[in-house]
Structures are given as C-alpha cells and as structure tokens.
Structure 1
Amino acid sequence: MERVTYHGGRVFDGHVLHENWPITIEDYFIIEGAEGHPIDLAGDILAPAFVDLQVNGGGGVLFNDDPSVETLQRIAEAHIALGTGSLLPTLITDRPEITAAAIDAVAEARTRAMTGIEGLHLEGPHLSAAKHGAHAPELIRPMETADLAALIEAKARVGCLKVTVAPETVTPDQIARLAEAGIYVSLGHSACDAGTGEHAFAAGARGVTHLFNAMSQMQSRAPGLVGAALASQAWAGLIADSVHVAPDVMRVALAASPKIFLVTDAMAVAGTTLDHFTLNGRKILRRDGELRLEDGTLAGADLDMARAVTVLVRQCDVPLSRALAMATRLPAEAAGLAPHIGCLKARTPCRAIRLRETADGFRVVPLDA
C-alpha cells in the first residue's frame, strides 16, 4: 500500500472525532512527520474498521451450516465490504460435533492469519430453555466437566474465545474456571434473577450478550439480568436496529452504562440480496429489515455496523463520537483484542474505513472514493 495522506475531513481515532486532522498511512501503518499521495476526504470520516463480536454469517452462508475455513473466508469478505475489519464468527447452539468443527475451523483460520478472524464466539448450547429464542431448544443442555475442559483447550487454539452461557446451566465455579483460562464469559439467553446474575459476574462473567433480548427484564422490584448488568456496568452488546430494542430503551441503557457496544448479530443474508435462509432446518424470512422464523420469532438481525451507528445517532441522539466508539474501540476492549484494533494510533497497524453521511444515514465507501 502506497503512502497516502488523507485530509479535508474528520478523523475518529477511537476516542475523539478530530476536525481537519490530516493522517498518513503507509503499508497499513500510521506514520508521523511525513506526507504521501493526497486524498481529499471531502467531508467524509476516516475511522477504524468496525469490530463485531457477534457474526453468525454473511455473503450467503451461515457458520452453523458449514463450520469450515472456506465459510469463514466468505463471511469475513462479506463483512470487510461492510466496513468490519475484526470479527468473532459466532456459532449458535448446535450438536457437539458441529462445535468441534467450528473450533477446528477458527484455529486453522488463525494459523493462516486470515484477515478479520479474531477468534470465536460460541453462543450456546449452555443456555436456558426458557429463553431459547431462535436456538433449537432440544440442543440446549447444562455444562458438564467434559464441556469445560474442551472450552479451556479451545482457548489456546482460537485466540479470543467468547462463550455465551446462562447461569441456570453453568455454575459459578465453572464460570470462574472459564474466566481464569482467559475466556470471555458473557451471560445471555437466561431467565435468571438479578441476584443470580450478580453472582455470575462476581465469579468472572464479563458481560451480557445482546442486552434486553432473550433475558429477564428489569422491573421495579425484580431487576432481572438486564438490571444486574446495568447496575454492575458489565460489558453489554446491543443490537441497535430499533427492532430488537426500542430507541427510548436504548437511551435509558446508554445513560446507565458506558460499557455498551454494538453488535450486528448478522446472519447469512448480510452483504447479499437474499430474502430467506435456513437455520437448523428452519426457514428464516427477511422482510422490512427484520429476520424472523415463520412463527414470528426474531432470528438474528438484518443489520450492518454503519446502519447501527445511524440508528444511535439519528434515533437515540447519541453523539457520533460515542456511536463510533461503540462500533470500534469498545468491543475491542471488551474482548481484550490487540490494542491497535478499533483505534487509529501512530506507529501501529491500521485498519481504516471511510464513512460518508447521506440522507439515508452513514455508509462505507472506498478509501479512495
């Protein structure tokens, strides 16, 4: 990559949105004290590539359908085109042999240094059947000793390992063992009360998966997992499509906690014009910006990060700098990724994108557009 100096726009470095701040990049590194071929941003925004910790599929494929290196490549390419430079491919509740294949595929992708694949998110099978959502309830089960050992072994092979579990099916001791091994434990698909959630956080759970969705809600005398997460300011992923969570509810949550970040929960249709796909043999329909099973249950999101940023800014009155941080630096920090991911820092590797604001919202455009 030739040396290029971007000027004439704004630069978001992961923390601050700078006005008219020229930045020079060469061979994917930010350099200081030098200039290169000038590119006028014409008012656009240069930002770190998005970071997404919940990506079930994209480019017409779903990780559960074929947990292979080839599938990972196709998913990564689809999301790179949408501005996401770092992601956790996500396997939802499935059979043990599918989980093992997913671990092998991510380990191989990491060995090949596949662009964009930072690790693995296993969402299930150790969830609550009462909050199964789009997960196949017959595959949900408690965590056993062999499961714990397999996850700890997998951590050494896949880089970042995030596991979504419900405290009804995973004990505090198991959570502690996972956390001690460096695994990012996130609570989700749970009907637990606030006290149980608080005990899980104390044991080492780092946060919650898709805040508000598939979890016990906050009420005046029963805070639920939502209340426990917000009160403890645990890390929390948020699907900001205004379908999974209403804008007014997002405003309240964002006022309560600075540790909420964006996820897409993207499915096979991401980056395509497909109008349906299948999950565990069940048809999922794409209609009006929503993904639903034929019985009406939400099944992932028809969402990319640029649209999530648009929803936060335009429907929730979130400052653009905070919305961008929620799509870049904050998820990287939550997952413990390399310090340069989600930020633009001098003398460090750089994955940058160019964002343009239009009447319809923010969209990713080529860096040299």
Structure 2
Amino acid sequence: MNLQLGGNLLTPDGWIHGEITFGDRIGGINGAPVNPADNNDVYILPGFIDLHVHGGGGVDIMEANGAGAVVARLHARHGTTAFLATTMTAPGIEIERALNDLAPMRQQRTAGGARMLGIHLEGPYINAGKLGAQPDFARCGVAEEVSRYNDIVPVKLVTIAPEVSGHAALIETLVANDIQVQLGHTLGSYEDGVEALKRGAGSFAHLFNAMTGLHHREPGMVGAALAHADFAEIIPDLLHVHPGAIRTALRCIPHLYCVTDSTAAAGMPDGNYLLGGQTITKCLGGVRLADGTLAGSTLTMDQALRNLVAIGLTIHDASNRLSANPARFLGITDRGRLAQNCWADLVVLDRHLQLKSVYIEGELIDITHA
C-alpha cells in the first residue's frame, strides 16, 4: 500500500514543496522548488542515521538479553531510522555475548524500531591511557578477532588508537575487508593521525573528546582531524563540545557528521544506569561516572537537530550532518536521502522542529511515548 505525505521536502537537489509517495521504498517525489520560509507547512527530512549508539530506554547494548530491540525502539521514537549498535571495551567473551544477542536484528528489523545496520566496535583496541568512560580492558587489536565478531554480526566500524603497536597494519587489514576505521580514545600525535589516515582510516571518534588536543606546537590528534579529515563524528549535545568548537570543526571537516553516543539513560529520568557494566548517573542533562567523567550522553537525534539549528546551522545543513553524511561515510546509497527507490525512512517535523511522525522502511512509528 502506497502512502502520500505533503510539505516542504528536503531532497538531494534542495527544498521542494510537494508530495512524496512511498511504500517500504520511496516511489516518487513531486513538487516545485521552494524556500520553506515562505510557508508554514511541515518539514519532511530523511530519517536520521546514528553511527554511535550504546543504549537507551534504560538498557545498554552490552547487557544483551534483548537490549538491542529496546534501544532500536527508543531511538526510532526520536527520528533515528538506522543505527550502528556500539559495544564497549570488554573481554572478548562479553563482546561475543552482546553480538550473539544482536544477530537476529540484522536479519529482521525490530517492529517499531530503527534498522540496525551492523556493529561499531568502540574498543577494545584503544589506548589504556585514554579510556574516557571505557572500562579498563584495552588491548592490542587482532584482525582474526574482528573477523570472528564479523561472522556473528557485520562489523561496519571500529574505533582504534593508531599509536598502539600493530595498529597501523590492523587499519590496513580492516579497510581492505570493507570495515571502516576511525581514530579515538588515543594519546597519538598529529603525525600518528596523519599516518593512520594515509593507511585508510576514515574518521575520528567523538571529535575533541578522548584524544590529544590542539596546541600550536603540538597539533595532536585534533589537529590531524581539523587539517586532514574528510569525515569525523561529533556529539552535539552542547555538553561534550562547546558550540564554538563545533563551528570550528564544521569549517574544517567537509563531511562532519553527528552521533549521540547515547547510553541507557537516553529517554529516561535522572538516576543510575549501566554502561558496559559500570554505573553511570544521569543528572542535569548529562551522564557521568562516579569520578565525574562524562560517560556518553542522553542525546537523541531530534534534539541534535534542534541544537545544530540553535547554534546557527540551516535546517538543510543540520539534516545533512544527521543523515546524508553518515550514510556517505558508510557507503550507503539507499538511505539518508529522499530520492526514488531509497528506503522510505523519513521524519516529519513542525515549524518548531518537534517530531510529528517517523516512518522507517514505510512503517509509521508510534512516537507518543517519546
């Protein structure tokens, strides 16, 4: 059955005022170019794609026991239509347990939930001296281990500290096997970052956070990103990164894209939750370990859109940072844009950028509990 929606549609060619027809995929888009400021109609944007999701709705991906479905439904109610389930630094047996629990979701999308595209391994191949909120199980990466994980659920992205011995070669191996690599939780230098990019690394994990900062005589990993990166992820909750630093990154990195790095506390009241087996506390809009370290976020992608617009981005630009750019980074051509034959993943927002409806592969999502 085909559905039809009308409003201000953000297409790859810009805004049009018209109608979109779709089933599970987009059948057609008709309309005329428009400046959406000239009317009061709704905005219809591509669904959001989040490449860094640890949890939500009170559960953490590492808990297993069906956590992935809860996370998929929570974020779908906030406009995320596709995501990478993100693991924590942990012993291999715990990572495998989480992946085995997620495996059915790769074959069958959770009803009412976002499409899980695969896995983001955030660690354990990171620097033990830059854990951030990661548990202390960092170790050198082994390609055979990633291959074993990939046999359970497709591994789409691995966060790596490039300065760790053996990781330069690991980056090349992963990229040769169509697994994207990003640099993060690292004490590496500017030179380490540049070398990793030459070997095929394609992005930087939560830019500015858990990496060596920019100094004019030691540019660090942040300097490598700002000077050389085409892609990097950033957390626009306005807590992890100052708006001025976000704008700096926007001027330097052509395809900067946004992630939530969300935890079990997303969509939940203040209180204690789990992140990779550690207790985190949600309070005042953020989540922290007992020692005060930021531990992921409570951000959802619809709020990320509003935050970006609040600091001066156009809706068009903000949408690209949440949809088109992450899709492009993963090499996905049938999501992240409103075009014929793409999956019917779309969000409808009112003039205050509040969600009115969400469709995932043509399914209308119940957002009443968001």
The TM-score, its normalising length taken from structure 2, stands at 0.88
**Matched residue type, 2:119:** L
Over 3 Å counting, the alpha-carbon distance change for 1:151 and 1:111 in structure 2 is same
- Provide the rounded CA distance (Å) in 2 between the counterparts of 1:155 and 1:89: 13
Partner of 1:37: none
- Provide the rounded CA distance (Å) in 1 between the counterparts of 2:13 and 2:284: 34
Q: Does 1:158 align with 2:148?
A: no
Query: What are the within-5 Å matches in structure 2 for residues 5-20 of structure 1?
Result: 5-7=4-6, 9-13=7-11, 15-20=12-17
Q: Does 1:23 align with 2:20?
A: yes
Over 3 Å counting, the alpha-carbon distance change for 1:59 and 1:16 in structure 2 is farther
Partner of 1:4: 3
Partner of 1:301: 297
- Provide the rounded CA distance (Å) in 2 between the counterparts of 1:159 and 1:311: 32
Q: CA deviation at 1:27?
A: 4.2
- Provide the rounded CA distance (Å) in 2 between the counterparts of 1:219 and 1:33: 50
Partner of 2:91: 95
Structure 2: tracts of 5 or more residues without a match? 32-38, 359-363
The TM-score, its normalising length taken from structure 1, stands at 0.88
SS in 1 for 2:115: coil
Q: CA deviation at 1:282?
A: 3.2
Q: Does 1:344 align with 2:342?
A: no
- Provide the rounded CA distance (Å) in 2 between the counterparts of 1:223 and 1:19: 43
Partner of 1:84: 80
- Provide the rounded CA distance (Å) in 2 between the counterparts of 1:318 and 1:175: 34
- Provide the rounded CA distance (Å) in 2 between the counterparts of 1:16 and 1:33: 13
Q: CA deviation at 1:273?
A: 2.7
- Provide the rounded CA distance (Å) in 1 between the counterparts of 2:279 and 2:24: 44
- Provide the rounded CA distance (Å) in 2 between the counterparts of 1:77 and 1:274: 20
Q: CA deviation at 1:352?
A: 1.2
- Provide the rounded CA distance (Å) in 2 between the counterparts of 1:32 and 1:342: 15
Query: What are the within-5 Å matches in structure 2 for residues 170-209 of structure 1?
Result: 170-209=166-205
- Provide the rounded CA distance (Å) in 2 between the counterparts of 1:323 and 1:210: 17
Partner of 1:363: 354
Question: Which of 44, 47, 59 matches 1:46?
Answer: 44
Q: Provide the aligned C-alpha RMSD in A.
A: 2.2
Identity percentage of aligned residues: 31
Partner of 2:330: 335
Over 3 Å counting, the alpha-carbon distance change for 1:298 and 1:48 in structure 2 is same
- Provide the rounded CA distance (Å) in 1 between the counterparts of 2:155 and 2:91: 22
Query: 1:160, 1:335 within 8 Å by CA — same for their partners in 2?
Result: no
Query: 2:264, 2:275 within 8 Å by CA — same for their partners in 1?
Result: no
Greater displacement, 161-170 / 300-309: 161-170
- Provide the rounded CA distance (Å) in 2 between the counterparts of 1:106 and 1:279: 17
Query: 2:161, 2:167 within 8 Å by CA — same for their partners in 1?
Result: no
SS in 2 for 1:149: helix
Partner of 1:142: 140
Over 3 Å counting, the alpha-carbon distance change for 1:174 and 1:184 in structure 2 is same
Over 3 Å counting, the alpha-carbon distance change for 1:32 and 1:289 in structure 2 is closer
Q: CA deviation at 1:157?
A: 4.7
Q: CA deviation at 1:288?
A: 1.6
Query: What are the within-5 Å matches in structure 2 for residues 193-232 of structure 1?
Result: 193-232=189-228
Q: CA deviation at 1:51?
A: 0.1
Greater displacement, 275-284 / 48-57: 275-284
SS in 2 for 1:21: strand
Question: Which of 93, 109, 119 matches 2:105?
Answer: 109
- Provide the rounded CA distance (Å) in 1 between the counterparts of 2:30 and 2:138: 56
**Matched residue type, 1:326:** R
**Matched residue type, 1:301:** S
SS in 2 for 1:283: strand
SS in 2 for 1:332: helix
Q: CA deviation at 1:94?
A: 0.9
Query: 2:47, 2:323 within 8 Å by CA — same for their partners in 1?
Result: yes
Query: 1:155, 1:183 within 8 Å by CA — same for their partners in 2?
Result: no
SS in 1 for 2:207: coil
Q: CA deviation at 1:23?
A: 1.8
SS in 2 for 1:237: strand
Over 3 Å counting, the alpha-carbon distance change for 1:298 and 1:32 in structure 2 is closer
Q: CA deviation at 1:75?
A: 0.9
**Matched residue type, 1:198:** V
Deviations along 1:142-167, one digit per CA (max 9) or x if unpaired, are 22xxx311213433553352110101
Deviations along 1:10-60, one digit per CA (max 9) or x if unpaired, are 1112x35414232222344333579xxxxxx96221111100000000121
Query: 1:155, 1:182 within 8 Å by CA — same for their partners in 2?
Result: no
SS in 2 for 1:342: coil
- Provide the rounded CA distance (Å) in 2 between the counterparts of 1:133 and 1:159: 26
Query: 1:49, 1:84 within 8 Å by CA — same for their partners in 2?
Result: yes
- Provide the rounded CA distance (Å) in 2 between the counterparts of 1:134 and 1:328: 27
Query: 2:25, 2:341 within 8 Å by CA — same for their partners in 1?
Result: no
Structure 1: tracts of 5 or more residues without a match? 35-40
Deviations along 1:276-317, one digit per CA (max 9) or x if unpaired, are 2023443211112111112110000111111111111112x1
SS in 1 for 2:195: helix
